[in-house]
Structure 1
Amino acid sequence: MNKSTNTIALAIALALTLLLAACGGERSAEAGHAHDAGDEHGQAEEARKGAHGGRVLEQSGYRVELAIAEAGMPPRYQAWLYRGDAPLAATTGSVEVRLRRLDGASERHVLTPRPDGSLIATSIVGEPHSFDVEVLATIEGKALRWSYPSYEGRTRIAEATARTSGIRVAPAAAGMIADEHEVQGLLTPVEGRQAKVAARFPGPVRALRANLGDRVRAGQPLATIESNLSLSAYTVTSPIDGVVLARNAAVGDVAAEGASLFEIADLSRLWVDLHIFGADAQHIRPGVPVRVTRLSDGVSVDTQLERVLPNTATASQSTVARATLDNADGLWRPGSAVQARITVAQQPAALVVPLSALQTFRDWDVVFIRVGDTFEVRPLELGQRDGQRVEVLSGLKPGDQVVVEQSYLIKADIEKSGASHDH
């Protein structure tokens, strides 16, 4: 199934899910704190906002307004206490917020009084602000409790729909970040594996037994020539195993002594001459890994540099580095241009993800993780990168199931649901 079909399949499935949600079914995505709902009995209700823009929690004649303060500081919980509509001093009560995230991780944030009349936590609420919340408060000796979901950057997609749409996950793990150089190259026959087949004595060509492109074996008859000296026919054979690259005679031609009749080359191995420009040449050394890619179909093979030639290519003024590759199937053709990635050095990284997993979300670099049928955003701090992967400094832990293919579909579904950051 191609990408376009996959996208259509997912769009249909998600549209059906949203339709069910509109009729009272489960939501396709819970992308923002504006979707938060639920009191201590689990009954859905619209979140009420207080004077400070926080969520109002009310019970037994008391209120707690709870917000995440972010202005001029890292995000942390802040609360204000009330008896009915009357504000109370922060010292008349206590507040504790307990969070449980999608992956099961739990957090505890204890708020303490401050001079402005609010209570605030010293612990930071990490992104994303997506979790199940339990609030425990005591006001004037009265114990209170609330619980509700507060989700953002989150969506649910059934496993079958995700699989059909080509969404694939892989665990975050340690890896290597490579210092790589992208270069162009040309395939050429290996020197010493070519032969020219010549007439030993002058005379007319009576028969030719090989054509351009034929594979021949050492000792295989290629031509019959009638000698002008002895007037007897003699056979010309192939000196090596190989492929006929050129046939320079036709039946009836008069072959001169030493004239080339055929050119044969053993193409089971080929040279890859890679052209390196400027200062890059100073970093290239024999023995480093090389990945060579065919332009015709994108197939790649791994080999290594054997040598850096001492001379500069006259036409391009480039340094030529040479590798050898196996061509047992004959699909690599002399004279063809190739692309290559030379790995100069590799640096281990504790955690890496493929570049295909990265998306932008708000002003973050993110990936999406999967837990069951739920997908959720993970803002990342990134380190070094190469042409295939990037180092993750924070935001993930080893084993997290990261969306590595079709991650843009997850982003699109979350954004479609109206992602917000309303605390």
Structure 2
Amino acid sequence: MSKPTKVIWLAMLSLLLSGFWLAPLSFASGDHGGSHGGHNAHEVEKGPNGGRLLKEGDLTVELLIYESGLSPEFRAWVSRDGKPLENARLSVELERLGGHVDQIPFTWDSNTGYYRGEGMVREPHSFNVAVSIFYNGERTDWNFESHEGRVQITKQMAEKAGIKTAVAGPGTIKQSVTLYGKTAIDHRSISHVRARYPGTVLSIEKALGDLVEKGEKLATIESNDSLQTYPLVAPISGQIIDKQTSRGEFSGERVLFTIANYSQLWAELQVFPTRRGQISRGQKVSIVAGDRTFDSTITSLAPGGNGQPFAIARAVIENPNDLWTTDLMVQGQVVTSENPVPLIVENRALQPFRQWTVVFIKVGDTYEIRPLKLGRSDGNVTEVLSGLNVGDRYVTENSYLIKADIEKSGAAHNH
């Protein structure tokens, strides 16, 4: 698929998200207090405190997640025949996407006149809710869905949209410094070819720019001393980059051909005194030039020479397809430390969402936000301190399509 075609396809796809193949799941915006709001797929009956009303016979529970100026917490008002009950036993189970269940016990607060859930209700506030009331030896249960930041995508449409995932797990945060320099030919890959016995050049077999193999004939020389002819052959494979002789000339002791092999180059990086203590042989380095990257190792570190105020760190670039050229300006990301951490995500997976940075987890055909608390980053991956679990499958590519649909469908639940 050409690049323009792919752009058109993604643009069309984004228009279709909320209409066809992405089915936003309903959520109960009325269940949240404080600054929660948003669209509601099904109208929810609300109580005087703004919470969801649950009724069974003459028993009523108003359930609210309150978070105005506080960490989100459950509050509940329980009544029978319109009269508050102070001695009921109330509990709530929150089943999250992926099967994890939060148990929320409640205690009566006589100062406020409501039951307060113990502990913070962590984001996202997206779960299947089970409410249980025990009163006078009787148990009453309610079950309902309260989903936000969630959509469903079939496997086929996810593949067409280029949505890809990875499994969250431990990794390494690499700290690095950036050096600048250029590419150069490895000095061991240049050969200056002279005649072994000076004489007349009888024939020339190769021209400037020709590719030659080791042992291939370059020219024929007639020795002045013995008058015998012998072949002048290439001592290495490579390309003829200089030719200083013609048929009929006397060879003398000068260089007749210069051959260079570009299958391996050097990155020569400048190390100024302020960085010298951080750079040493054996360190890993990523050589970057435009959209080209090569991972290598610093093999030598030597003074710059000619009074230069910097040292030169050299790293090998394997170049079998001649994608790299000499005298190319490059950056070198030199790894100075590697720190293992319990959980990382790829940076390309991160999306801004409301006041958070999130990734989208995938369970079956369902995708949902996960707000993250992040730690160290090395530009490629970032440490996750909370909000995600080892083993969670999360979206790495084209997660912006999922975000766009959640926001357009109203499943974002505006805070």
1:301 lines up with 2:306 in the alignment: no
| Amino acid aligned to 1:352 | I
1:60 lines up with 2:60 in the alignment: no
| Amino acid aligned to 1:135 | V
What residue in structure 1 maps to residue 160 of structure 2? 164
What residue in structure 1 maps to residue 287 of structure 2? 292
- Output the CA distance in 1 between the equivalents of 2:177 and 2:247: 51
1:379 lines up with 2:376 in the alignment: no
CA shift digits 1:311-352 (9 cap, x unpaired): 36867x543211123334444433333443221110001011
- Output the CA distance in 2 between the equivalents of 1:422 and 1:388: 30
CA contact (8 A) 1:6 1:166 kept: no
| Amino acid aligned to 1:95 | L
| Amino acid aligned to 2:232 | V
Give the Å deviation of 1:54.
Answer: 1.1
| Amino acid aligned to 2:295 | D
* 1:260 counterpart SS class: coil
| Amino acid aligned to 1:236 | L
- Output the CA distance in 1 between the equivalents of 2:162 and 2:307: 48
- Output the CA distance in 2 between the equivalents of 1:231 and 1:105: 92
What residue in structure 2 maps to residue 39 of structure 1? none
Alignment of 1:9-408 (within 5 A): 10-11=13-14, 13-17=16-20, 28-30=23-25, 32-34=27-29, 46-84=43-81, 86-89=82-85, 91-114=86-109, 115-138=111-134, 143-198=139-194, 205-224=201-220, 235-251=231-247, 254-255=249-250, 257-277=252-272, 279-293=274-288, 295=290, 298=292, 300-311=293-304, 317-408=309-400
Give the Å deviation of 1:251.
Answer: 4.4
- Output the CA distance in 2 between the equivalents of 1:48 and 1:276: 69
- Output the CA distance in 1 between the equivalents of 2:195 and 2:217: 13
The CA RMSD over aligned residues, in Å, is 3.0
Give the Å deviation of 1:183.
Answer: 3.2
CA contact (8 A) 1:31 1:414 kept: no
Give the Å deviation of 1:75.
Answer: 1.4
Give the Å deviation of 1:70.
Answer: 1.7
CA shift digits 1:182-226 (9 cap, x unpaired): 333322222243222235677775532112333334443322456
| Amino acid aligned to 1:7 | L
- Output the CA distance in 2 between the equivalents of 1:410 and 1:172: 19
* 2:174 counterpart SS class: strand
CA shift digits 1:401-420 (9 cap, x unpaired): 01011111111111111135
Q: 1:45 to 1:31 in 2, by over 3 A?
A: closer
TM-score by length of 1: 0.84
- Output the CA distance in 2 between the equivalents of 1:302 and 1:120: 56
- Output the CA distance in 2 between the equivalents of 1:242 and 1:154: 58
- Output the CA distance in 2 between the equivalents of 1:66 and 1:282: 61
CA contact (8 A) 1:9 1:164 kept: no
| Amino acid aligned to 2:7 | S
- Output the CA distance in 1 between the equivalents of 2:380 and 2:194: 50
What residue in structure 2 maps to residue 21 of structure 1? none
What residue in structure 2 maps to residue 23 of structure 1? none
CA shift digits 1:99-131 (9 cap, x unpaired): 111111112211111021111012221110000
Give the Å deviation of 1:49.
Answer: 1.9
Gapped regions of structure 2 (runs ≥ 5): 32-40
- Output the CA distance in 1 between the equivalents of 2:301 and 2:378: 24
* 1:183 counterpart SS class: strand
| Amino acid aligned to 1:17 | F
* 2:404 counterpart SS class: helix
Identical columns (%): 38
* 1:17 counterpart SS class: coil
| Amino acid aligned to 2:369 | V
Give the Å deviation of 1:305.
Answer: 0.7
Give the Å deviation of 1:62.
Answer: 2.6
CA contact (8 A) 2:128 2:145 kept: yes
* 1:79 counterpart SS class: strand
Q: 1:82 to 1:312 in 2, by over 3 A?
A: farther
| Amino acid aligned to 1:70 | E
Give the Å deviation of 1:139.
Answer: 5.3
Q: 1:411 to 1:422 in 2, by over 3 A?
A: closer
* 2:14 counterpart SS class: helix
- Output the CA distance in 2 between the equivalents of 1:314 and 1:366: 51
* 1:408 counterpart SS class: helix
Mean CA deviation greater in 201-210 or 319-328: 201-210
